Protein backbone atom coordinates (compact mmCIF):
# COMPACT_ATOMS: atom_id res chain seq x y z
CA UNK A 1 0.00 0.00 0.00
CA UNK A 2 1.31 3.44 -0.91
CA UNK A 3 2.38 5.65 1.99
CA UNK A 4 0.48 8.50 0.33
CA UNK A 5 -2.78 6.74 1.23
CA UNK A 6 -2.07 6.67 4.96
CA UNK A 7 -3.29 10.27 5.61
CA UNK A 8 -6.53 9.46 3.76
CA UNK A 9 -7.05 6.34 5.87
CA UNK A 10 -6.35 8.24 9.07
CA UNK A 11 -8.91 10.88 8.06
CA UNK A 12 -11.42 8.15 7.18
CA UNK A 13 -10.85 6.59 10.60
CA UNK A 14 -11.41 9.91 12.35
CA UNK A 15 -14.65 10.55 10.44
CA UNK A 16 -16.10 7.08 10.84
CA UNK A 17 -15.09 6.92 14.50
CA UNK A 18 -17.00 10.15 15.17
CA UNK A 19 -20.05 8.80 13.33
CA UNK A 20 -19.80 5.53 15.24
CA UNK A 21 -20.11 7.38 18.52
CA UNK A 22 -22.75 9.78 17.21
CA UNK A 23 -25.05 7.29 15.50
CA UNK A 24 -24.07 3.92 16.93
CA UNK A 25 -23.38 2.53 13.45
CA UNK A 26 -19.83 1.36 14.14
CA UNK A 27 -18.60 3.26 11.11
CA UNK A 28 -19.05 0.27 8.82
CA UNK A 29 -21.79 1.61 6.60
CA UNK A 30 -19.74 4.71 5.87
CA UNK A 31 -16.48 2.85 5.49
CA UNK A 32 -17.49 0.20 2.96
CA UNK A 33 -18.10 2.63 0.06
CA UNK A 34 -14.85 4.49 0.76
CA UNK A 35 -12.79 1.30 1.07
CA UNK A 36 -14.37 -0.02 -2.11
CA UNK A 37 -13.09 3.07 -3.94
CA UNK A 38 -9.67 2.75 -2.30
CA UNK A 39 -9.20 -0.94 -3.08
CA UNK A 40 -10.32 -0.34 -6.66
CA UNK A 41 -7.67 2.38 -7.04
CA UNK A 42 -5.04 0.00 -5.65
CA UNK A 43 -5.85 -2.53 -8.36
CA UNK A 44 -7.05 -5.33 -6.10
CA UNK A 45 -8.81 -8.30 -7.72
CA UNK A 46 -12.28 -7.12 -8.72
CA UNK A 47 -14.20 -10.06 -7.28
CA UNK A 48 -12.54 -9.62 -3.88
CA UNK A 49 -12.82 -5.83 -3.52
CA UNK A 50 -16.25 -5.57 -1.87
CA UNK A 51 -15.56 -8.65 0.27
CA UNK A 52 -12.36 -7.05 1.56
CA UNK A 53 -14.02 -3.65 2.09
CA UNK A 54 -16.80 -5.24 4.14
CA UNK A 55 -14.44 -7.42 6.17
CA UNK A 56 -11.96 -4.61 6.87
CA UNK A 57 -14.70 -2.18 7.89
CA UNK A 58 -16.11 -4.76 10.29
CA UNK A 59 -12.64 -5.31 11.73
CA UNK A 60 -12.39 -1.66 12.73
CA UNK A 61 -15.63 -2.01 14.71
CA UNK A 62 -13.69 -4.15 17.19
CA UNK A 63 -11.98 -0.91 18.22
CA UNK A 64 -14.60 1.79 17.64
CA UNK A 65 -17.35 -0.07 19.47
CA UNK A 66 -15.27 -0.33 22.64
CA UNK A 67 -14.32 3.34 22.47
CA UNK A 68 -17.81 4.67 21.81
CA UNK A 69 -19.62 2.38 24.23
CA UNK A 70 -17.33 3.52 27.05
CA UNK A 71 -18.48 7.09 26.49
CA UNK A 72 -22.16 6.06 26.29
CA UNK A 73 -21.84 3.89 29.40
CA UNK A 74 -20.50 6.82 31.44
CA UNK A 75 -23.80 8.56 30.74
CA UNK A 76 -25.82 5.51 31.74
CA UNK A 77 -27.36 5.21 28.28
CA UNK A 78 -26.51 1.58 27.46
CA UNK A 79 -29.29 -0.93 28.20
CA UNK A 80 -27.08 -3.86 29.19
CA UNK A 81 -29.95 -6.36 29.70
CA UNK A 82 -30.82 -5.83 26.02
CA UNK A 83 -27.19 -6.41 25.03
CA UNK A 84 -27.07 -9.67 26.99
CA UNK A 85 -30.38 -10.85 25.54
CA UNK A 86 -29.36 -10.19 21.91
CA UNK A 87 -25.69 -11.29 22.13
CA UNK A 88 -26.15 -15.11 21.83
CA UNK A 89 -28.14 -14.79 18.62
CA UNK A 90 -25.74 -12.15 17.29
CA UNK A 91 -22.74 -14.44 17.76
CA UNK A 92 -24.49 -17.29 15.97
CA UNK A 93 -25.78 -15.18 13.09
CA UNK A 94 -22.49 -13.32 12.66
CA UNK A 95 -20.40 -16.47 12.33
CA UNK A 96 -22.83 -18.04 9.87
CA UNK A 97 -23.11 -14.91 7.72
CA UNK A 98 -19.40 -14.09 7.81
CA UNK A 99 -18.42 -17.65 6.94
CA UNK A 100 -19.10 -19.54 3.73
CA UNK A 101 -22.30 -17.60 2.98
CA UNK A 102 -20.22 -14.43 2.72
CA UNK A 103 -17.58 -16.05 0.50
CA UNK A 104 -20.20 -17.60 -1.79
CA UNK A 105 -21.89 -14.28 -2.65
CA UNK A 106 -20.59 -12.43 -5.70
CA UNK A 107 -19.60 -8.77 -5.51
CA UNK A 108 -22.76 -7.67 -7.33
CA UNK A 109 -25.05 -9.39 -4.84
CA UNK A 110 -23.08 -8.16 -1.82
CA UNK A 111 -23.29 -4.58 -3.11
CA UNK A 112 -27.01 -4.94 -3.73
CA UNK A 113 -27.61 -6.46 -0.29
CA UNK A 114 -25.71 -3.60 1.33
CA UNK A 115 -27.69 -0.99 -0.58
CA UNK A 116 -31.08 -2.57 0.10
CA UNK A 117 -30.66 -2.98 3.82
CA UNK A 118 -29.13 0.44 4.35
CA UNK A 119 -31.77 2.15 2.21
CA UNK A 120 -34.60 0.32 3.99
CA UNK A 121 -33.23 1.34 7.37
CA UNK A 122 -32.99 4.98 6.31
CA UNK A 123 -36.58 5.08 5.08
CA UNK A 124 -37.83 3.50 8.30
CA UNK A 125 -36.04 6.15 10.33
CA UNK A 126 -37.38 9.00 8.17
CA UNK A 127 -40.96 7.80 8.55
CA UNK A 128 -40.73 8.61 12.28
CA UNK A 129 -43.87 6.64 13.01
CA UNK A 130 -44.52 6.39 16.71
CA UNK A 131 -44.72 2.79 17.95
CA UNK A 132 -47.77 1.59 19.81
CA UNK A 133 -47.41 2.57 23.49
CA UNK A 134 -47.97 -1.04 24.58
CA UNK A 135 -45.26 -2.51 22.34
CA UNK A 136 -42.31 -3.99 24.23
CA UNK A 137 -39.22 -6.04 23.52
CA UNK A 138 -40.01 -9.73 22.88
CA UNK A 139 -39.17 -12.59 25.23
CA UNK A 140 -36.05 -14.74 25.16
CA UNK A 141 -36.85 -16.70 21.95
CA UNK A 142 -37.74 -13.49 20.15
CA UNK A 143 -34.57 -11.74 21.30
CA UNK A 144 -32.40 -14.68 20.21
CA UNK A 145 -34.12 -14.66 16.82
CA UNK A 146 -33.73 -10.90 16.46
CA UNK A 147 -30.08 -11.14 17.48
CA UNK A 148 -29.43 -13.87 14.92
CA UNK A 149 -30.96 -11.73 12.17
CA UNK A 150 -28.96 -8.68 13.26
CA UNK A 151 -25.70 -10.65 13.35
CA UNK A 152 -26.31 -12.40 10.03
CA UNK A 153 -27.27 -9.26 8.11
CA UNK A 154 -24.50 -7.20 9.69
CA UNK A 155 -21.84 -9.74 8.69
CA UNK A 156 -23.02 -9.61 5.07
CA UNK A 157 -22.78 -5.82 4.80
CA UNK A 158 -19.90 -5.07 7.19
CA UNK A 159 -21.86 -2.83 9.55
CA UNK A 160 -22.19 -2.78 13.31
CA UNK A 161 -25.87 -3.68 13.24
CA UNK A 162 -27.37 -0.27 14.02
CA UNK A 163 -29.19 -0.25 10.67
CA UNK A 164 -31.31 -3.09 12.08
CA UNK A 165 -30.94 -2.86 15.85
CA UNK A 166 -31.74 0.86 16.25
CA UNK A 167 -35.03 0.66 14.28
CA UNK A 168 -35.86 -2.62 16.08
CA UNK A 169 -35.34 -1.11 19.53
CA UNK A 170 -37.14 2.16 18.78
CA UNK A 171 -40.03 0.11 17.32
CA UNK A 172 -40.18 -1.57 20.74
CA UNK A 173 -40.32 1.80 22.53
CA UNK A 174 -36.66 2.03 23.55
CA UNK A 175 -35.76 5.77 23.48
CA UNK A 176 -33.53 6.71 20.53
CA UNK A 177 -30.55 7.76 22.65
CA UNK A 178 -30.65 4.46 24.54
CA UNK A 179 -31.09 2.56 21.27
CA UNK A 180 -28.01 4.24 19.76
CA UNK A 181 -25.91 3.61 22.87
CA UNK A 182 -27.03 -0.02 23.13
CA UNK A 183 -26.34 -0.54 19.44
CA UNK A 184 -22.77 0.67 20.01
CA UNK A 185 -22.36 -2.03 22.66
CA UNK A 186 -23.78 -4.67 20.29
CA UNK A 187 -21.13 -3.74 17.73
CA UNK A 188 -18.41 -5.68 19.56
CA UNK A 189 -20.01 -9.18 19.56
CA UNK A 190 -21.14 -8.58 15.97
CA UNK A 191 -17.57 -7.72 14.96
CA UNK A 192 -16.00 -10.65 16.84
CA UNK A 193 -18.29 -13.23 15.26
CA UNK A 194 -18.09 -11.72 11.78
CA UNK A 195 -14.30 -11.31 11.76
CA UNK A 196 -13.87 -14.98 12.70
CA UNK A 197 -16.08 -15.84 9.73
CA UNK A 198 -14.20 -13.52 7.34
CA UNK A 199 -10.83 -14.98 8.27
CA UNK A 200 -12.14 -18.51 7.89
CA UNK A 201 -13.96 -17.95 4.59
CA UNK A 202 -11.10 -15.94 3.06
CA UNK A 203 -8.31 -18.25 4.20
CA UNK A 204 -6.15 -19.25 1.19
CA UNK A 205 -8.49 -17.52 -1.24
CA UNK A 206 -6.54 -16.84 -4.47
CA UNK A 207 -5.84 -13.28 -5.61
CA UNK A 208 -5.83 -11.55 -2.22
CA UNK A 209 -3.06 -8.94 -1.78
CA UNK A 210 -0.13 -9.14 0.61
CA UNK A 211 -1.08 -7.99 4.09
CA UNK A 212 -4.42 -9.81 4.06
CA UNK A 213 -5.66 -12.09 6.82
CA UNK A 214 -8.50 -13.87 5.15
CA UNK A 215 -10.61 -11.07 3.71
CA UNK A 216 -9.24 -8.48 6.19
CA UNK A 217 -6.70 -6.04 4.75
CA UNK A 218 -4.54 -5.36 7.80
CA UNK A 219 -2.69 -2.18 6.69
CA UNK A 220 -5.97 -0.33 6.19
CA UNK A 221 -7.44 -1.81 9.36
CA UNK A 222 -4.57 -0.56 11.53
CA UNK A 223 -4.48 2.93 10.00
CA UNK A 224 -8.24 3.44 10.40
CA UNK A 225 -8.35 2.03 13.93
CA UNK A 226 -5.67 4.45 15.18
CA UNK A 227 -7.79 7.57 14.72
CA UNK A 228 -11.28 6.07 15.00
CA UNK A 229 -10.82 5.13 18.64
CA UNK A 230 -9.92 8.74 19.41
CA UNK A 231 -12.93 10.37 17.77
CA UNK A 232 -15.64 7.84 18.78
CA UNK A 233 -16.00 9.30 22.32
CA UNK A 234 -16.38 12.78 20.81
CA UNK A 235 -19.24 11.52 18.66
CA UNK A 236 -20.89 9.90 21.67
CA UNK A 237 -20.75 13.15 23.65
CA UNK A 238 -22.24 15.04 20.69
CA UNK A 239 -25.10 12.53 20.44
CA UNK A 240 -26.24 13.34 23.97
CA UNK A 241 -26.42 17.06 23.14
CA UNK A 242 -28.68 16.55 20.10
CA UNK A 243 -32.44 16.20 20.25
CA UNK A 244 -34.19 13.06 19.03
CA UNK A 245 -35.43 14.55 15.75
CA UNK A 246 -31.98 15.79 14.74
CA UNK A 247 -30.34 12.47 15.55
CA UNK A 248 -32.91 10.48 13.61
CA UNK A 249 -32.65 12.72 10.53
CA UNK A 250 -28.85 12.72 10.57
CA UNK A 251 -28.84 8.94 10.71
CA UNK A 252 -31.37 8.56 7.88
CA UNK A 253 -29.82 11.08 5.46
CA UNK A 254 -26.37 9.55 5.86
CA UNK A 255 -27.72 6.05 5.20
CA UNK A 256 -29.58 7.16 2.06
CA UNK A 257 -26.40 8.67 0.57
CA UNK A 258 -24.43 5.49 1.15
CA UNK A 259 -27.20 3.27 -0.14
CA UNK A 260 -27.31 5.26 -3.39
CA UNK A 261 -23.60 4.74 -3.99
CA UNK A 262 -23.78 1.00 -3.39
CA UNK A 263 -26.82 0.67 -5.67
CA UNK A 264 -24.70 2.26 -8.38
CA UNK A 265 -21.85 -0.14 -7.58
CA UNK A 266 -24.19 -3.12 -7.80
CA UNK A 267 -25.61 -1.87 -11.12
CA UNK A 268 -22.12 -1.69 -12.59
CA UNK A 269 -21.24 -5.16 -11.32
CA UNK A 270 -24.36 -6.69 -12.87
Residues 6+ apart with CB under 8 A from 180: 23, 24, 72, 77, 162, 166, 239, 247
Give the model confidence (pLDDT) of 61-73 as tens digits: 887 777 777 777 8
pLDDT at 112: 79
Residues 6+ apart with CB under 8 A from 43: none
Q: What is the DSSP letter of 105?
A: S
- Is 7's pLDDT higher than 70? yes
Q: What percent of the chain is helix, strand and coil (3-state, nearest 5)?
A: 80, 0, 20
Q: What are the DSSP E strand ranges found in 98-151?
A: none
Give the model confidence (pLDDT) of 147-156 as tens digits: 898 888 878 7
pLDDT at 149: 86
Instruction: Select from 156, 175, 147, 3 the least CA-distant residue to 72.
Output: 175
- Is 6's pLDDT higher than 70? yes
Q: CA 153, CA 139: separation in Å to the nearest integer? A: 21
Whether 270 is covered by a domain: the verdict is no
Give the model confidence (pLDDT) of 216-243 as tens digits: 999 888 888 888 878 877 877 776 676 6
By residue range, what is the domain housing residue 97?
Answer: 3-264
Give the model confidence (pLDDT) of 11-58 as tens digits: 888 887 787 667 655 556 677 778 888 888 888 877 788 888 888 888
Whether 269 is covered by a domain: the verdict is no
Q: CA 131, CA 171: separation in Å to the nearest integer? A: 5
Whether 215 is covered by a domain: the verdict is yes
- Higher-scoring residue by pLDDT: 23, 104: 104
Q: CA 270, CA 255: separation in Å to the nearest integer? A: 22
Whether 36 is covered by a domain: the verdict is yes
First-to-final CA distance of the chain:
28
pTM equals 0.73
Domain count of the fold of the chain: 1
Whether 187 is covered by a domain: the verdict is yes
pLDDT at 84: 92
In whole angstroms, how far apart are CA 153 and each of 93, 116, 158, 188, 201? Answer: 8, 11, 9, 15, 16
- Is 132's pLDDT higher than 60? no
Amino acid sequence: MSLALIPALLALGAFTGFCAGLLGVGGGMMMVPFLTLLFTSLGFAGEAIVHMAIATSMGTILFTSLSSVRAHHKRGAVRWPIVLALAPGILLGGMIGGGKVFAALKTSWLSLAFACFVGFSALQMLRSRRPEPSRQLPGTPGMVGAGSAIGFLSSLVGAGGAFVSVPFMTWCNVPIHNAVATSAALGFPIAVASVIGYIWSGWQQPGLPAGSLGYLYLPALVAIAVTSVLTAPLGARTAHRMDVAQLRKAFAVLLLCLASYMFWKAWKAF
